[in-house]
Amino acid sequence: MAKRDYYELLGVGRDASEAEIKKAYRKKAMEHHPDRNAQDPKAEAHFKEINEAYDVLKDGQKKAAYDRFGHAAFENGGGAGARGFHGGGDFASAFSDVFEDLFGDFMGGAQGRTRRARGSDLRYNLRMSLDDAFHGKQATIDVPGSAACEVCEGTGAEGGAEPLTCPTCSGHGKVRAQQGFFTVERTCPTCGGRGQIIKNPCRGCGGSGVVRKDRTLNVNIPAGVETGTRIRLAGEGEAGLRGGPPGDLYIFIEVEAHPIFQRENQDLHCRIPVSMTTAALGGEIDAPTIDGGRTRVKVPAGVQSGKQLRLRGKGMPALRGATVGDLYIELAVETPVNLSHKQKELLRQFDEEGRDNSPETQDFFSRVKGFWDGMKGA
């Protein structure tokens, strides 16, 4: 039976790139794998044909020979066709390419590199006042963690000797085993995936290259931070194992509630009570500002509770920016309490003579009367 065209088997054109060929092979291999087509007696043979085609087309020299001479280029022991994938040698090579393409990063990336474990990242929660968030501050924090062992200089070996290449995986950190049609890659059991072994472990750190060590750091907290702000200090986390790079330290900010101001992004809000007479006649009040100062604010005559006055540029600074928020003052008209007999009489007299001084009250009860009248007629 004549062999099928390799390009036809993979479903690609003769001008297909190496990436397109690999992509097509991966799709076909997954689609026609015998384990997924157990009811098809021809599945295994077709699967071998697909792998044979890919083994030729992935190789530049074999592909050029096939493009020129077709299947005749590999007859009489000249190539993949003669070997016929008995024993799985060529299939393992072909499928290994796709296996690494699919799982290479997950399993540890490219081979031949010594794997030095990066240190863990650390988190530090820092509480601070709104005043410090406004001005910025330098905070001193104590960070529990680890550091490179000074005895072995982080190598993990006695006397600072260099680690040896793992004889089991030759420094790859992974070992491969053939299981049927698949080449399975696992972490090397000898070196634990590091690619190196320590012949004489350091007594100071037990071969890890790191020791427990608390540190004190001075951290500059910029003005404008708010709850949830995250500050990253590169390289200030846990030390890496056996000379690996250190992790990072992340400082999470929590700004405490303020007794006077409420924050909303860059803006601040402040509720200020005003007397009934000031609200009625108008006047001025002193409004506090977050920088510790005060601002004279004019209260218009006849102001009602809930009225907001805006003070531009009196809010919080933007984090690493040039803009500043605003301060919103909410006026709360305060009802007088603990009145003397004379004050009560004056208020009663005012109430009798000042029926036209409360237009909002009159409007409301006028609408209420219309509502009640409507209910009676229903």
Q: Are 96 and 54 in contact (CB under 8 A)?
A: no
- Dist CA 355 CA 165 (whole Å): 97
Q: Can you tell me the distance from the alpha carbon of 32 to that of 24, in angstroms, rounded to the nearest whole number?
A: 12
For the record, the structure tokens of 127 come out as 């509480």
Q: What are phi and psi of 138, to 5 degrees?
A: -105, 115
Of the candidates 234, 115, 223, the one whose C-alpha atom is nearest the C-alpha of residue 163 is 115
- With beta carbons less than 8 A apart as the criterion, state whether 94 and 176 touch: no
Strand order, beta sheet including 262-264: 262-264, 267-275, 327-334, 308-311
Q: What is the DSSP letter of 261?
A: -
Residue 285, H or E segment: strand 283-288
Kindly report the number of other CB atoms within 10 A of residue 158's CB atom: 16
Residue with tokens 């500043």: 324
The 10 Å Cβ neighbour count of residue 91 is: 26
270 is in an annotated binding site: no
Query: Is 166 within any annotated ligand binding site?
Result: yes
26 with 98: CB under 8 angstroms? yes
* Cβ-based neighbours of 226, under 8 Å, separated by 6 or more: 133, 253, 255, 263, 265, 316, 319
Amino acid at 332: A
CB 128: neighbour CB atoms within 10 A? Answer: 17
Binding-site residues for Zn(2+), in ranges, read: 149, 152, 166, 169, 188, 191, 202, 205
Binding-site residues, in ranges, read: 149, 152, 166, 169, 188, 191, 202, 205
